Amino acid sequence: MDKLKILVLEDTSITQHMIDKALSDTGIEIEITYCENVAESLAKMSNKKFDLALLDYYVEDGTALDIIENNTDTPCVVLTSANDQELAASTLQKGAKDFIIKDSKLNYLEKLREVIESVIHKS
């Protein structure tokens, strides 16, 4: 398999670093493209095919839904610190493949690894 191409929308450098570490620990060849806002993410997605998008829900110029609603090709997984079941349900109804809550104990990083494994097995 070629490198797994993942777009990550995350506007916090510390979280970017933690995601990078978690994904590199999978042992899978991954090419990560980081974006810090919706506009940059949509521009990158229009010019390149990604196998997966990991999207922080709230960023400076919009939400993950702005990407989900303008994207039909890339499976999207939403990450957020908001522990809001209604938000999770509506995000999944609008097309997100998964909704992961960024918990303070960093358990969500293990969930990210599981998501990557799932994407690989579906390819």
What local confidence, expressed as pLDDT, does residue 1 receive?
A: 59
- Structure confidence at residue 108 (pLDDT): 93
CA–CA gap between residue 117 and residue 119 (Å, rounded): 5
Q: Which domain holds residue 8?
A: 4-122
The alpha carbon torsion through 68, 111, 3, 97 (nearest 10 deg) reads -30
Q: Considering only CA atoms, which of 10, 3, 26, 7 is closest in space to residue 102?
A: 10
List, for the chain, all residue ranges whose pLDDT scores fall below the cut of 70.
1, 120, 123
Instruction: Give the total number of structural domains in the chain.
Output: 1
CATH number at residue 26: 3.40.50.2300
pTM: 0.92
